[in-house]
Structure formats: structure tokens, C-alpha cells
């Protein structure tokens, strides 16, 4: 049976073999054909020689979460033949390099051999070329099998090698070699087909870290200090790229500075120093980095210094799974640092939101004079997602918050760095160098009074801590609101989720509704939690919380912060490091409600009604 | 303990600097350190140097880490913004602050716990980057605020107050600074203001990373007979390489010290440094010789003081990074945000 625009293709490669760019070109070709596509790069913490996979889901209905079961496996790594083979669906295709012919222990699949290495050996002498062009030859053969619009693929190759034009012709040649082989030797009886579609809106294919780095440019960030760590590195690198692109003058001078620090302690220290001195600055890291930054996070919280920290979460604990995804830093970020501390968190769910929330994060940090932790993850940060084009409102001005100018200082009678003048808990700050005789103060992590003076008076310290709590509790008006959507039919079953699980949730809820399960959903976008979430919780009697960690961290945070009985929530947890599938959610949900007579009875009723 | 304000009564005839300010305008709160602490003398020297240089106090940011020494920024320049950061991390905060505004003076004060132990990494890397700042380490060889543990700069031959041996090698911060790229490296003594004040003045005038290792005895925990960081030990073992004059812009050099003994250096702010060497053969422009000199003196049981090393190539982190002249914290939205039109181009590159 022919499958059009609805299947999963998986490339099994060896890392360091040049497969990544060829794989991306394949995914991007599908994207340019207007077909909803979502590639996931499953890679090892290694540079050369270990297995790596590239999984592409094509879905005409626009479902972009991962899906189990591979329809076409391009098996180019003998190390993983056995396990890869298991994932192939019945009747699926296995494509391999048949330079060395071999048998595969499954009779229910179609095996297609393409002698890629021997074609290469015939046409290229240089060993590196032989390896690199093997991927392009494979791409050529695939383009014939999948009936891909070849002009799209050729156009992509030309773009890819725009900066090295000498490579265009050899790549097109390799592509032609693969196509020729397929046309002459392979049966046209191939059931998976890619057909052009028309996109409903203008789309782009982009990674979250790229979008965040760009967002920081639009937000007016001028200082970035960071320490290399997967999966956040590409965020700082994207910022640096756009800094040179957009903020470099004719003399080559740059309106911004990027420092690769000696460690995460220093990276956050620099970002704090720059923010203290009135520049917009950020740092980007992942779990292990956040652990190291905790001490400074406490200082920024207590001394009330704005800061934007990107936490691109990966698999923990400890060094954990550096190249896999998780949402397992929720509690350690929300309560980062010793003593009574609470941090503002943002939860983007795709690269477009990464851009928007990165722009907003700096306004929030300066308005509230506190760190804002941007809780992305490896799946959003390092995979290519197809999203609507990025947009920006030129009329939006930076919200620098309560900063006093020299003129302001001259016109006021009394000023204290930590005085709550407006009753919102947010004091007024001054930037060094502003006024010759007014507005200087001593920033400290030790207990201080409203005038920033050192104090060991417990009552004064307690008052100050309560003011910061007031500021924190009132902060929700500046934060992105939760987004809720009710099921078509009235129900009191609710699902709470956040971040990169969104595509899997959307798909799962559709499947479940087809089976008669009506589910209201709400996507959390920030912490502290807003009224929208509180209302959702009060309106739904059966509440599920979906998250990618072992310990149900979001569940604990919600029940702790909103003072709700934790037994009111049922957790759906996944922490295997892979982006979620809708099937996982559907199966988990059904197994959790199996014994819940109320929910199952309602489903039966709605089926009868239908 | 609370911070203590000084009385504001002033003598009407106090001398004034170019800004019309008196020395008292550069003071801070009353010190809460132990009576006789070396650090208080360093604070006085900082006040005097800033007064003499007529630095507008609000154009200087003072930063510190944690410890007795890091408390001292409260005791000088109360019209300057101050930042008492976390233990050993003053260099990173100073780096960020400097990146945000290259036009201010940055004065960092830390101790040997900050500099040689918990913050050794940050200390090393800030020098590699040649941040334009003055870093004063008030070095007393001991952890004062936690009551007298050995620090990493305490000499191996030195003993604790109770006679316990120090078992480990000491770190020579000045040698390390020269090795790692600091352009201005000096060592001095809190009790020698004639040497220390000109050094601080010169360091503030210097563009690049200026480090002054100030031996500043801890009267409570490390000033006993068997200590090598005591007032008495220092006075007996001090070997100055020379002394320094700082000649402000438009002033003539009036004293002649004899041929081959003086080095004149033009500093970027227009002033001149004149280093008068006590030994004709000493060359403070050579990293190798400067480190050799430190080691030689040490072998002889002497503590070398004065301006030990000077790189006349004044270059700082902003020069390396090619940051724009205008301080980054003064750039506005029109300078920074590329706007929707540019975003459309970016969209195109991902379509």
C-alpha cells in the first residue's frame, strides 16, 4: 500500500562520516516541498566513530512529534544493524550499502542494496571524498525512490556550498551518480512517496538555540559570557554570529562582546557584572553548569541584579546523558541556590517561542531585577523544527525597568536601593557612573537594609526578604501566561504539560478524543504559576501532569507553590532521553485511567452519545 | 555590627585637588577591622591616590570578593558604586562590569584566600584577558575572618601563631601575574605609603591589567615572631627594586637621578611614570628577568618590592575584542535591535 507524505525514515550512521549535512539536506528538501517534517538528531557524546541516527518523520496532517516504527531504514552502520532492524515496521524498506552483500534475518521487509562504496571507489581517488560523496550518492538514489522534486534538492546543494563554489559541481555529480544507479537498477515499485504540498502559512526550519541567540540580539543584549557545554553551545555561537552580522560597523568595531569564560562560575559572574553595570547580558549553559552557577544565582536574587540564564536541559543526574533530552532541572532551577531563593522560569515549547521568549526575557529580568532562567532543552535547542516565520514588533521598546537617571536623582529627596516606594516590591536601581554625588551604593550578598547598608538586624533582614517575596509573587503580570484549550465536549479531565512535549501532547489528545476521551489541556509557560493554571486546576477533577523526568518535579513544584494536595495529580513520566511520542502518552494515559471508573464510564457515555 | 558613618565635620583649609575636592571626599565608612590591620593602611593609600589623581569618585567602581580584605571597599570612596561579590569571583564580576562600560575605572580589592585559593582560576584568566583594571591583593597569608587558617600564599617556612608548621609550598602571586600576562605587576607593603601610593596612582593610570600584591599583615592571626608575613619580618627582609614617581599631565620632571637609573614611561592618560631603579642592571620590561628577580630574591630570603614588571604596550580586552568606543551600556535600541526588515532576511535564510 502506497504511503504518501506519512512515514518515518531513519538514517543509521557513524558519526564523523559527513552524514549530518546530507541528512539535513534530505529533511530540508522535504520541508521545501511544503510537507510537514520533523527531523530528530540522535547523536552520541563523541566526535568520531560511534553510532548516530537521524530520524525524519513526515506527516501530512502536521503531527511533528517522534513516532515509533521506522518505514524506511537507511542502514549505513554495521555496528547497529541488529537493533536498527528491530525498529523497522512490517513491509518496511531497508536500504544498505551492498558493496559487501549481506543477508538480514527478517523476511517481512524489503531489502534494497545500493553499492555506494564501490560507486565511490570507481569515481573518486581521495579517501575523504569517497566517504563524503557516499552520503550524496545515497541521497541521489533516495531522491529517485521517493520521487523527490530534483530541482529542490539541486537548489539546496547549490546553497549549501555557496561559500565553497568549487564543491558544487562534484556534489551535483555525486548526486547524479546515485540517481543513475537507482534509475537503472532499482525497481520503481517503492511504496513511500513524497508529494508537493502547499503550506498554510510561511514556515521556516530552525533550531531553538539559533532562534534564542537571535532573540538576544533583538533584545539588545550586548554581553554574552559562556562556557562550552552540550546542548547549549550553539546558542552562544548563534549570538556571536548575528552580533558580527548585525552589529559590526565599517571599521569592524562591534556593539557587543562575547567571552568564552574559563568555567561556568566565571560565565555567570561576568553576566552579573555586566547587568549590574547597565548592559543587557546573558549566559547559556545546561544542568551541570546551572549547578556550578547556583552560588551566583543566589547573589543575583538577593542583591537584585537582572540576569538572563539559558538552561538548555539535557539528561541528568550528574554528567548524565549529555546528548539526550530531559526536563529534569525544574526543581533545581526554580529553587537554585542556598537559603530561601526562588527563580523566575520560562518554558518555551518550540524555536519560535524561543525567539519570542528570549526577546521578552531581558525585559522581565530588568523589570523585576532578578535572574530569569530560560528552560529550554536539547530537543528544542538542537533539533530543526518547522515553525511559522519569526516576527518582531519594531514599535516595542526595551523595558529597562526602574533605573534612575542623573536627572531623576537630582529631583528626588531620598533614595534607598532597596526601598519599596511603589508597593510592588520592586525598588529603584542606579547604574555606576550616573551621578557625581548621588545614587552610589554598595551591592552585597550579605544581609542589607533598604539603603544597601550591611545589617545583622534580623527584623530588617526579614522585612527585606518579605519584600522580595512580594516582588516575586506579583511578577506573574510580566510573564508569559499559560495557554489552555478545552476539549470539544465538556470534561473534567485535564492534562498539564510544558516545553518540548507539546507536539506529542497535541497529537495524543487528538487520538484520545477519537477514542472518546475528552481532555482539557494547559501548557505552562512560566514560573511562578499564574491564575490561568490555578483556575484550570480548580476546574478539573482528574488532573494529569506530563513531564520528562523521574521524580515528577513539576508536580512537586505545583503542589508546593499552589498548596494543592499532591495526590490530586497523576504523573505521566518519561525520562529515557528521547523526544516523546504521542503513542507513549496515549498508552500511559489509558493505563492510568484503566481502573478509574469515573473516567472510563464517561468515555463510554460519550461513545454512546456519538 | 552595622556600618558606621563618619562625622562630616571638616577643617575649612583642607587641601583641594583639581576637582575642588578634599581628601575627605574620597573616604568611606569607618573601618570595622582589627586595630592595626594592614588593610586599613591600604584603604588610606587608595584614598590618597584617588585624591591626588583627581578621579571623580562616581567614575570608579570598586569590587571585591569575600574576606577581611573584601570588606574594605566600604571604607573608601563612598561616592563610588561598590560590589562585594562572592568568594573568589571578583574577577568575573569586574570583567562583566568592564565590558558593559569601558569608560570607568575599575578597582578590585581581594585577599589571598580569594586570589590564591578559591578564585585562583578567575585570577589567572582575568590576566590572560588583560582586563583594564587595578587588582590589589591584600596579602596576609592567613584566613582572618575564619580565625587564622593558613592561606596558599603563606610561606612554607612560616608557622602559625600556635607554632604549627605550614606544610605546603606558597604561591607567589606576582610571579604568577607576570607569567600570565598582567602588564603592570608590583609588590608593596601596607606600612610603606611612600611606595604604595605612587604604585596605586601608576596602576590607575595604566591601561591594561595592573596587579599590586600588597603584603598587609594580619595583626590578630599572623603577626607573630615565626610568621613571614609580619610587620617585623617584612621590614627586615624587604628589597625594593626601585621607587616610582607619577608625573601628572603637563608637569615637568624636576629631579634627575643619574644616567641609566631611570625609566620614563608615557601612560595613555597623558601622565608619565618615572621608575628610579636602585640597581642599574634591572630591566622591568623583561618578563623573564622580572620572574628571575623574584626567584633570586626569594632564594636570598628577601621580599622584592616596587614595580617589578611593566609592559609598555598598553592594550586591553576591548582592543582585542574590537568593542565599539561607546560604552555598551549606553547603546540604545536603534544601535542594537536589527528590526523586522532584517528579521525577514533571517527568516528567508531558514526557509
Contact residues, chain B, for A415 at CB < 8 Å: none
> Has residue A200 been placed in a domain?
no
pLDDT in tens, A92-115: 999 999 999 989 999 999 999 999
Residue A399 lies in a domain: no
Range scoring the smallest mean pLDDT among A171-185, A228-242, A439-453, B239-253: B239-253
pLDDT score of A472: 98
Could you tell me if A471 and A601 lie in one domain?
no
**Which residues are within 8 A (CB) of A465 and not within 5 positions of it... i.e. 6 or more apart?**
A340
**Residue A522 predicted with pLDDT over 90:** yes
Specify the pLDDT at position A406.
97
Q: Which pLDDT tens digit goes with each residue over B31-77? A: 999 999 999 999 999 999 999 999 999 999 999 999 999 999 999 99
Task: Grade residue B2 by pLDDT with cuts at 50, 70 and 90.
Answer: very low
DSSP-based three-state secondary structure for A545: strand
DSSP string, A13-78: EETTSSHHHHHHHHHHHHHHTT--EEEEEE--S-SSSSEEEEEEEEETT---SB-SSEEEEEE--G
The region of weakest confidence among A420-429, B206-215, B291-300 is: B291-300
What mean pLDDT, rounded, does chain B reach? 92
B27 has pLDDT over 90 = yes
Same domain for A511 and A495?
A: yes
Domain boundary among A477, A506, A522: A477
CATH assignment at residue A570: 3.40.50.920
- Enumerate residues 389 to 408 of chain A having a beta carbon within 8 A of any beta carbon in chain B: 389-394, 397-398
* Chain B nearest C-alpha distance from A440 (Å): 5
What mean pLDDT, rounded, does chain A reach? 96
Quote the domain boundaries for residue A259: 206-388
- List A residues 238-267 in contact with B (Cβ-Cβ < 8 A): 242, 246-247, 249, 252-259, 261-263, 265-267
Task: Please indicate, yes or no, whether residues A494 and A602 belong to a single structural domain of this protein.
Answer: yes
Burial category of B82 from C-beta neighbours within 10 Å (exposed 0-12, middle 13-18, buried 19 and up): buried
**Between β-strands A6-14 and A51-59, what pairing exists: parallel, antiparallel or unpaired?**
antiparallel
Size of interface A-B (CB pairs under 8 A): 235
Do residue A32 and residue A52 come from a single domain? yes
Neighbours of B235 (CB within 10 A): 12
Kindly state whether residues A595 and A558 are assigned to the same domain: yes
Q: Are residues A229 and A118 in the same domain?
A: no
**B68 CA: distance to closest CA in chain A (Å):** 14
**Which pLDDT score, from 0 to 100, does residue B257 have?**
54
Domain count, chain A: 4
Last residue of a domain, one of A170, A193, A216: A193
Residue A68: pLDDT band by 50, 70, 90 thresholds? very high
What residues of chain B lie within 8 A of the CB of A432, using their CB?
A: 58, 61, 80-81, 97, 101, 104
Residue-level length of chain A: 610
Q: A535 in helix, strand or coil?
A: helix
Quick: pLDDT tens for A431-464: 999 999 999 999 999 999 999 999 999 999 999 9
pLDDT over threshold 50, residue B1: no
Contact yes or no for A457 and B1 at CB 8 A: no
Residue spans of the domains in chain B: they are: 23-329
3-class secondary structure, B146: coil
Considering the domain architecture, whether residues A419 and A565 belong to the same structural domain is answered as: no
Alpha-carbon distance of A566 to A163, in angstroms, equals 57
Cβ-nearest to A277 among B2, B97, B122? B97
How many angstroms separate the CA of residue A605 from the nearest CA in chain B?
46
Look at residue B320 in the predicted model and tell me its pLDDT: 97
Query: What share of chain B has pLDDT > 90, as a percent?
Result: 80
Distance from C-alpha of A573 to C-alpha of B288, rounded to nearest angstrom: 61
Question: Using CB atoms, which residue from A252, A391, A443 is nearest to B322?
Answer: A252
pLDDT tens-digit profile of B125-182? 999 999 999 999 999 999 999 999 999 999 998 999 999 999 999 999 999 999 999 9
Do A367 and A413 belong together in one domain? no
| A528 lies in some domain | yes
Whole-angstrom distance, CA of residue A120 vs CA of residue A22:
16
* pLDDT value for B5: 67
Same domain, A293 and A345: yes
User: Which of these CATH numbers, 1.10.1060.10, 3.90.1720.10, 3.90.1010.10, 3.40.50.970, describes B23-329?
Assistant: 3.40.50.970
What distance in Å separates the CA atoms of residue A266 and residue A447, rounded to the nearest whole number? 23
Which of A328-342, A453-467, A569-583, B276-290 has the least mean pLDDT? B276-290
Residues of A in contact with B89 (CB under 8 A): 265-266, 269, 296
Cβ neighbours of B336 in A, within 8 Å? 217, 220, 222, 247, 255-256
Q: Do B328 and A249 touch (CB under 8 A)?
A: no
| A198 domain residue, yes or no | no
Q: Do residue A159 and residue A233 come from a single domain? A: no
A185 and A262 housed in the same domain: no
Mean pLDDT of A415-422: 97
Q: Is the pLDDT of residue B240 over 90?
A: no
Q: Which among B233, B239, B245 has a CA at the least distance from the CA of B293? A: B239
- Nearest-by-Cβ selection for B86 from A246, A445, A455: A445
- End-of-domain residue from the set A425, A454, A477: A477
Output the domain CATH number for residue A210: 3.40.50.970
Q: What is the spatial distance between Cα B20 and Cα B22, in angstroms, rounded to a whole number?
A: 7
**Weakest-pLDDT range from A116-130, A280-294, A439-453, B212-226:** A116-130
CB contact under 8 A, B82 and A440: yes
User: Which pLDDT does position B12 carry in this prediction?
Assistant: 80
From chain A residues 179-238, the ones with a CB under 8 A of any chain B CB are: 202-206, 210, 214, 217-220, 222-223, 225
Peptide bond into A317 cis (omega under 30): yes
Burial tier of A513 (Cβ tally within 10 Å: 0-12, 13-18, 19+)? middle
Q: Is A401:A426 a contact under the CB 8 Å cutoff? A: yes
The Cα A34–Cα B186 span in angstroms is: 67
- Secondary structure (3-state) at A416: coil
Name the residue among A270, A296, A455 with its Cβ closest to that of B2: A455
Distance CA A313, CA A327 (A): 6
pLDDT in tens, B100-133: 999 999 999 999 999 999 999 999 999 999 999 9
Q: Indicate the pTM of the whole model.
A: 0.96
Per-residue pLDDT tens digits for A199-227:
889 999 999 999 999 999 999 999 999 99
Least CB–CB distance from A247: residue in B82, B100, B336:
B336
| Number of DSSP helices (H) and strands (E) in chain B, helices first | 12, 13
pLDDT digits (tens, 9 = 90+) for B315-340: 999 999 999 999 999 999 999 999 99
User: Do A231 and A334 fall within a single domain?
Assistant: yes
- For residue B253, what pLDDT is reported? 61
- Across the range A153-174, mean pLDDT stands at 92
Amino acid at each position: 500500500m502506497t504511503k504518501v507524505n506519512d512515514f518515518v525514515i531513519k538514517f543509521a550512521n557513524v558519526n564523523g562520516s559527513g552524514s549530518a549535512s546530507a541528512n539535513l539536506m534530505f529533511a530540508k528538501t522535504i520541508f521545501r516541498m511544503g510537507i510537514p517534517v520533523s527531523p530528530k538528531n540522535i547523536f552520541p557524546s563523541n566526535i568520531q566513530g560511534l553510532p548516530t541516527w537521524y530520524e525524519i518523520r513526515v506527516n501530512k496532517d502536521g503531527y511533528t512529534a517522534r513516532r515509533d516504527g521506522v518505514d524506511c531504514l537507511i542502514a549505513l552502520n554495521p555496528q547497529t544493524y541488529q537493533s536498527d532492524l528491530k525498529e523497522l515496521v512490517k513491509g518496511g524498506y531497508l536500504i544498505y550499502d551492498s558493496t559487501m552483500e549481506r543477508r538480514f534475518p527478517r523476511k517481512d521487509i524489503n531489502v534494497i542494496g545500493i553499492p555506494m562504496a564501490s560507486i565511490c571507489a570507481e569515481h573518486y581517488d581521495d579517501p575523504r571524498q569517497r566517504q563524503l560523496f557516499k552520503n550524496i550518492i545515497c541521497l541521489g538514489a533516495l531522491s529517485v525512490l521517493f520521487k523527490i522534486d530534483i530541482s529542490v534538492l539541486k537548489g539546496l546543494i547549490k546553497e549549501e556550498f555557496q561559500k565553497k563554489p568549487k564543491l558544487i559541481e562534484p556534489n551535483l555529480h555525486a548526486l547524479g551518480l546515485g540517481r543513475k544507479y537507482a534509475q537503472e537498477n532499482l525497481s520503481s515499485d517503492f511504496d513511500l512517496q513524497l508529494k508537493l504540498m502547499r503550506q498554510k502559512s510561511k514556515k521556516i526550519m530552525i533550531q531553538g538555540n539559533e532562534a534564542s541567540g537571535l532573540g538576544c540580539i533583538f533584545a539588545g543584549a550586548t554581553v554574552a559570557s559562556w562556557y562550552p557545554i552540550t546542548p547549549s553551545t550553539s546558542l552562544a555561537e548563534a549570538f556571536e554570529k548575528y552580533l558580527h552580522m548585525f552589529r559590526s560597523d565599517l571599521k569592524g568595531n562591534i556593539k557587543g562582546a562575547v567571552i568564552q569564560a574559563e568555567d561556568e562560575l566565571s560565565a555567570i559572574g561576568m553576566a552579573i557584572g555586566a547587568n549590574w553595570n547597565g548592559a543587557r547580558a546573558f549566559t547559556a549553559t545546561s544542568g551541570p553548569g546551572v549547578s556550578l552557577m547556583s552560588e551566583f544565582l543566589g547573589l543575583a536574587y538577593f542583591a537584585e541584579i537582572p540576569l538572563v540564564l539559558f538552561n538548555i536541559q539535557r539528561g541528568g543526574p550528574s554528567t548524565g546523558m549529555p546528548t539526550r533530552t530531559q526536563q529534569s532541572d525544574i526543581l533545581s532551577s526554580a529553587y537554585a541556590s542556598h537559603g530561601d531563593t526562588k527563580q523566575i522560569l520560562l518554558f518555551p515549547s518550540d524555536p519560535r517561542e524561543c525567539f519570542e521568549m528570549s526577546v521578552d526575557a531581558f525585559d522581565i529580568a530588568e523589570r523585576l531585577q532578578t535572574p530569569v532562567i530560560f528552560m529550554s532543552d536539547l530537543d528544542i535547542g538542537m533539533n530543526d523544527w518547522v515553525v511559522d516565520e519569526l516576527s518582531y514588533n519594531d514599535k516595542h521598546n526595551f523595558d529597562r525597568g526602574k533605573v534612575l537617571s542623573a536627572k531623576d536623582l537630582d529631583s528626588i529627596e531620598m533614595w534607598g536601593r532597596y526601598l519599596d516606594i511603589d508597593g510592588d516590591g520592586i525598588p529603584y536601581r542606579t547604574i555606576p557612573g550616573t551621578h557625581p554625588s548621588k545614587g552610589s551604593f554598595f551591592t552585597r550578598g550579605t544581609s542589607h537594609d533598604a539603603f544597601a547598608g550591611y545589617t545583622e538586624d534580623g527584623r530588617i533582614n526579614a522585612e527585606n526578604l518579605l519584600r522580595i517575596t512580594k516582588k516575586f509573587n506579583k511578577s506573574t503580570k510580566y510573564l508569559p501566561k499559560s495557554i489552555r484549550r478545552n476539549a470539544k465536549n465538556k470534561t473534567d479531565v485535564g492534562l498539564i504539560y510544558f516545553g518540548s512535549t507539546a507536539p506529542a501532547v497535541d497529537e495524543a489528545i487528538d487520538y484520545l478524543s477519537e477514542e472518546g476521551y475528552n481532555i482539557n489541556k494547559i501548557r505552562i509557560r512560566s514560573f511562578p504559576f499564574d491564575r490561568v493554571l490555578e483556575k484550570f486546576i480548580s476546574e478539573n477533577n482528574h488532573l494529569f501532569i506530563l513531564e520528562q523526568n523521574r521524580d515528577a518535579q513539576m508536580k512537586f513544584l505545583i503542589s508546593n507553590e499552589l498548596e494543592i494536595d499532591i495526590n490530586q495529580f497523576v504523573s505521566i513520566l518519561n525520562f529515557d532521553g528521547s523526544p516523546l511520542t504521542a503513542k507513549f502518552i496515549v498508552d500511559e494515559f489509558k493505563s492510568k485511567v484503566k481502573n478509574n471508573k469515573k473516567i472510563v464510564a464517561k468515555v463510554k457515555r460519550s461513545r454512546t452519545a456519538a | 555590627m552595622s556600618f558606621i558613618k563618619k562625622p562630616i565635620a571638616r577643617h575649612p583649609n583642607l587641601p583641594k585637588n583639581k576637582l575642588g575636592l578634599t581628601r575627605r571626599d574620597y573616604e568611606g565608612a569607618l573601618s570595622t577591622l582589627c586595630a592595626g590591620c594592614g588593610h586599613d593602611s591600604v584603604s588610606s593609600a587608595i584614598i590618597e591616590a584617588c585624591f591626588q589623581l583627581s578621579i571623580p569618585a562616581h567614575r570608579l567602581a570598586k569590587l571585591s570578593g569575600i574576606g577581611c580584605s573584601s570588606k574594605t571597599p566600604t571604607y573608601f570612596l563612598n561616592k563610588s558604586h561598590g560590589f562585594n561579590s562572592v568568594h573568589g569571583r571578583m574577577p568575573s564580576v569586574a570583567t562583566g562590569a568592564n565590558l558593559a562600560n569601558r569608560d570607568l575605572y575599575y578597582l578590585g580589592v581581594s585577599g589571598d584566600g580569594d586570589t590564591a585559593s578559591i578564585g585562583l582560576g578567575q585570577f589567572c584568566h582575568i590576566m590572560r584577558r588583560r582586563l583594564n583594571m587595578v587588582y590589589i591583593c591584600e596579602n596576609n597569608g592567613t584566613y582572618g575572618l575564619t580565625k587564622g587558617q593558613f592561606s596558599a600564599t603563606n610561606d612554607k617556612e612560616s608557622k602559625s601563631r600556635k607554632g604549627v608548621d605550614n606544610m605546603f609550598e606558597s604561591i607567589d602571586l606576582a610571579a604568577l601575574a607576570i607569567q600570565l600576562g598582567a602588564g603592570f605587576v608590583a609588590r608593596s607593603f601596607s606600612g610603606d605609603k611612600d611606595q604604595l601610593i605612587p604604585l596605586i596612582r601608576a596602576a590607575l593610570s595604566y591601561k591594561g591589567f595592573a596587579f599590586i600584591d600588597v603584603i598587609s599583615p594580619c595583626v590578630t592571626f599572623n603577626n607573630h615572631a615565626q610568621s613571614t608575613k609580619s610587620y617585623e619580618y617584612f621590614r627586615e627582609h624587604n628589597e625594593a627594586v626601585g621607587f616610582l614617581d607619577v608625573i601628572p599631565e603637563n608637569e615637568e620632571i624636576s629631579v634627575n637621578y643619574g644616567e641609566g637609573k631611570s625609566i620614563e614611561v608615557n601612560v595613555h592618560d597623558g601622565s608619565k611614570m618615572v621608575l628610579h631603579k636602585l640597581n642599574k642592571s634591572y630591566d622591568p620590561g623583561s618578563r623573564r628577568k622580572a620572574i628571575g628577580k623574584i626567584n633570586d630574591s626569594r632564594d636570598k630570603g628577601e621580599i622584592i618590592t616596587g614595580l617589578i614588571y611593566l609592559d609598555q604596550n598598553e592594550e586591553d580586552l576591548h582592543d582585542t575584542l574590537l568593542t565599539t568606543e561607546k560604552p555598551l551600556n549606553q547603546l540604545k535600541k536603534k544601535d542594537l535591535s536589527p528590526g523586522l526588515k532584517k528579521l525577514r532576511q533571517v527568516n528567508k535564510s531558514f526557509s
